[in-house]
Structure 1
Amino acid sequence: MDDQNKNGLSDALEKGASAAGTIRGAIKTGKAVAGMAKGAAAGGPYGAVAGALWANRKTLMKIIVAAAFLLLLPILFILMLPALIFGGLTDGFSSGNPDVPILNDSIAITENANNISFSINSILAEGLEDVLARIDADFAASDGDCQEVINPYAGNLMSNINLFISQYCAAKDKDFAAISLADMERILRSGKSHLYSFTRAVEYRDGTETDPETEEITIVTEKWIIYTIVYNGEDYFADNVFHLSDEQKAISADYAQNLSLFLGDGMFQGLPSDFTTLPALGDIRFTDGLTEVVYFNQLDEAYADKPYGTDHIGGYGCGPTAMSIVVSSMAGETVDPVKMAKWAYDNGYWCKGSGSYHALIPGAAAAWDLPVEGCTAAEPQKIIDALSGGKLVVAIMSKGHFTSSGHFIVLRGVKDGKVLVADPASYRRSQLEWDLSIIIGEASKRAAAGGPFWIIG
């Protein structure tokens, strides 16, 4: 590597570090800064990516070309991405494309992200098996006659994968060389017993016994042990497995937000902290589609400041608000965003600081006895047929016309070849007609729980 190239990359990283330090100072003095820049400042002078590059500056021959990529995107944004999605950066290239630096290889980055998601979901499944085994052991040691297991996560493993990635990278601090998928798997698997816990309750139920000789039926009272599986959440994991400090937790939250923006995966569903509430909208119903739709807006002053877990509906409640629209329009009862947010929280669908797990959509539909079917972006005719038949379709959108990160909306009908929507964050967008190509093109590419579309009704 010639000195000119080395100095160029060094200067770029130094400038990024200096800017991050400046923004940290701005935050402390109360000046307004962009969310992305605030995320970069939280990571200190060097975030996960730039820090790994700088720590290996003596061997930068492998990755010097990636400087072009670094300079094409905002430095403060790149500084705060967890290095795991780039393969840890101890090697500058992907194994499948040795001529292109990994930072410039979107296919390799997507493959890494998918491999990480698969690994985390596999460990989540192992965690479920672990808690089921613990339940069986608990029942065997009890004096119960029968057991019942309530498992709301069967077929709908839920987690904020981006936050798991971010917590892992934050826990490694400056030990960039140790960051790898295998290492993260080892740590997560060692703590899989922390992923799920269970509660138990006792019920006495009448049953029957038949005498094999006389065939006489006798009513007997049986002792039932009712077990309910509970997902402990990423916060619990941060404390008990990664053992993160408060500062590391803050850094990991910024990592997760920036990673969702970078991948466009629709996981982070938060609106800017300075969002403006709307005057009470009153009783709004859309009647221009086949199904009359009851409309709610998460920014309505009646709901915006109400709690969603420890967050609030205005900033993080697009998921519950979307399901309020669907349930109130199709289930014969009105369930406003406050009621739906509480239900989502009580049933484990709230994702702290990120909105809702995608499993909220099929979970809430099932809870109100509404038929629900997942649908991919490769099935546009299926979506149109569903809307033309009076069904509603919930979609998780990524960056585009509806959001800068992730956002649930409701597709509520078709009119003159265009799609009608009910956007929980915009009454104006809800009054427009949309090309299906926009909806399909901007739907999340990495939706969970059968998405990015859910046909309901």
Structure 2
Amino acid sequence: MSEENRQQQSSAESTVAGAAKTGKAIASIAKGAATGGAHGAAVEAAKSSKKWIIPIVAVILLPVLIIAMLPSVIFGSLFGDGTDTPNGISDDTVLVQNLADINSGISMILSEGLNDVLARIDSDFAASGCDSKEVNNPFGSDVVFNANAIVSQYCAYKDTDATSISKDDMESLLAANKDKLYSFTYTDEVREVPSEPEAESTETVAPDTTTEEPPEPTYETIRVYTISYNGEAYFADQVFHLSDDQKLLASQYAQNLTVLLGDGVYQGLSETEFSALGLSYDGVIFSDGETQVVYYNQLDERWKYELYGTDTIGGYACGPTAMSIVVSSLTSETVNPPHMAQWAYENGYWCSGNGSYHSLIPGAAEAWGLSVEGCTATEPQRIVDALADGKLVVAIMTKGHFTSSGHFIVLRGCTADGKILVADPSSYKRSEKSWDMSIILNEASKRAGSGGPFWIIGN
């Protein structure tokens, strides 16, 4: 066996373990890949169903084990149902529609969860004896959630029972646990009741020279509620009741979805980029746009080697660094990349070995009280108008001028001749240049999730 073949077999074998839990047919594909690479996987697939050959060939440029390790609910059926019916592997239109339906279904159930927690708050208040209540709901009716993680946890929960996996079944399980999606806390505050101003009389009367005691102040007790979204990590334990092995499987599913769907678009820097001379950008400010922008760089020597999950900030934290720029520029709070990376990790936005889920951008914006709107590449005027109004725009870019894989950048202004100013979290040099809008639009991710590839963020 040649050294190249040994390396391929070793790489396949290191990944195949997780695929063994996706059902007998999928395990056969994984075993074929371990022994014979892509060709071995195709052969094993052919033994199970000739209909699987076409979708495997359609995605043969991706590692076959990634395909074997994908949650089948995304595709309707993993490699088809034995008929000529298009599926999410062989037909992009089907994939996009499946994803839209899944996101819509999860969003609807999360809205039901909000109604449920509001009803629980009403019940608690009725028994509290307090005079009135206030409810802090930072989510409104639009909650940012990680669909990849939820889908992956559901499929891991099904374990070897792959044939029963379906979108409807997943939604039924979530709906049955809607009381676990949100929680609330409260504090009781005693406040003075403002006195009613006395109505002025139009009659002329003699002045009253007697001294009256001011009325005694009255008070009331306000119960102040705060709603919290429990998050995907909580769901793993309380909704899906995953074992440690199933949690690992869910993590592997989610990583593979990220690779296939481009939701994260592998944001790791190349070895050459990461090995660049460490510099410090302490105190760097850009003042040539409508908004003064605080600049941070993920490769700054102060935090380049600090951890983002189990990865490094320098190698993978362009998303947290971009949001450090946005939050530090649009709010009164200074949030550096280590702070934002830790927050992203704790709130489920870190994607091991791939960077960050796209939901990090709206999630962080909302957490810091900023407005955020998704925007597509077909709306350049919205981007220009937003920048002219002093807003910032985060963009997820694919291979081109800014990255060889995937990369978050911040659009921070427009020049007089209509070019775009950027704050690139991995390149101060690119941040000093102005860019044609056509480059920004053409190289923005075509498969961005969570409202992207552009997010308009303001106060």
TM-score normalised per structure 1: 0.76
Alpha carbons 1:21, 1:44 under 8 Å: kept: no
Alpha carbons 1:48, 1:82 under 8 Å: kept: no
Alpha carbons 1:397, 1:444 under 8 Å: kept: no
Stretch moving more, 349-358 or 252-261: 349-358
Match of 2:263, SS state, is: coil
Alpha carbons 2:28, 2:45 under 8 Å: kept: yes
CA RMSD of aligned residues (A): 4.1
Deviation per residue, 1:20-61 (Å, 9 max, x gap) = 973375x5xxxxxxxxxxxx4452457579618869978725
Match of 2:217, SS state, is: strand
Structure 1 partner of 2:456: 454
Structure 2 partner of 1:110: 96
> What's the CA shift for 1:386?
3.4
Stretch moving more, 75-84 or 432-441: 432-441
Alpha carbons 1:409, 1:422 under 8 Å: kept: yes
Structure 1 partner of 2:70: 81
> What's the CA shift for 1:407?
4.3
Alpha carbons 2:20, 2:27 under 8 Å: kept: no
Stretch moving more, 411-420 or 349-358: 349-358
> What's the CA shift for 1:112?
0.6
Match of 2:239, SS state, is: helix
Deviation per residue, 1:181-216 (Å, 9 max, x gap) = 11111111112211111111111111147699xxx9
- CA distance in 2 between counterparts of 1:180 and 1:305 reads 42
What are structure 1's unaligned runs of at least 5 residues?
1-15, 28-39
- CA distance in 2 between counterparts of 1:129 and 1:313 reads 38
Match of 1:325, SS state, is: helix
- CA distance in 1 between counterparts of 2:20 and 2:184 reads 42
1:23 is the counterpart of 2:11: yes
> What's the CA shift for 1:80?
2.1
Structure 2 partner of 1:439: 440
> What's the CA shift for 1:150?
1.0
- CA distance in 1 between counterparts of 2:327 and 2:60 reads 47
Instruction: Go from structure 1 to structure 2 and tell me whether the alpha carbon gap of 1:144 and 1:428 turns closer, same or farther (over 3 Å shift).
Output: same
> What's the CA shift for 1:339?
5.1
Stretch moving more, 159-168 or 309-318: 309-318
Instruction: Go from structure 1 to structure 2 and tell me whether the alpha carbon gap of 1:102 and 1:400 turns closer, same or farther (over 3 Å shift).
Output: same
Q: Name the larger-Rg structure.
A: 2
Alpha carbons 1:48, 1:169 under 8 Å: kept: no
1:323 is the counterpart of 2:312: no
Instruction: Go from structure 1 to structure 2 and tell me whether the alpha carbon gap of 1:239 and 1:340 turns closer, same or farther (over 3 Å shift).
Output: closer
Stretch moving more, 355-364 or 55-64: 55-64
Q: Which residue among 253, 259, 266 is the counterpart of 2:257? A: 259
- CA distance in 2 between counterparts of 1:344 and 1:89 reads 31
1:126 is the counterpart of 2:112: yes
What code does the residue aligned with 1:413 have?
G
- CA distance in 1 between counterparts of 2:323 and 2:436 reads 23
- CA distance in 1 between counterparts of 2:87 and 2:340 reads 46
Alpha carbons 2:397, 2:409 under 8 Å: kept: no
> What's the CA shift for 1:114?
0.9
What code does the residue aligned with 1:375 have?
C
1:138-157 to structure 2, matched below 5 A, reads 138-157=124-143
TM-score normalised per structure 2: 0.76
1:357 is the counterpart of 2:360: yes
What are structure 2's unaligned runs of at least 5 residues?
30-43, 199-213
Deviation per residue, 1:269-311 (Å, 9 max, x gap) = 6779996693322222334545443211133232445677898
* Count of paired positions: 419
> What's the CA shift for 1:363?
1.8
What code does the residue aligned with 1:434 have?
W
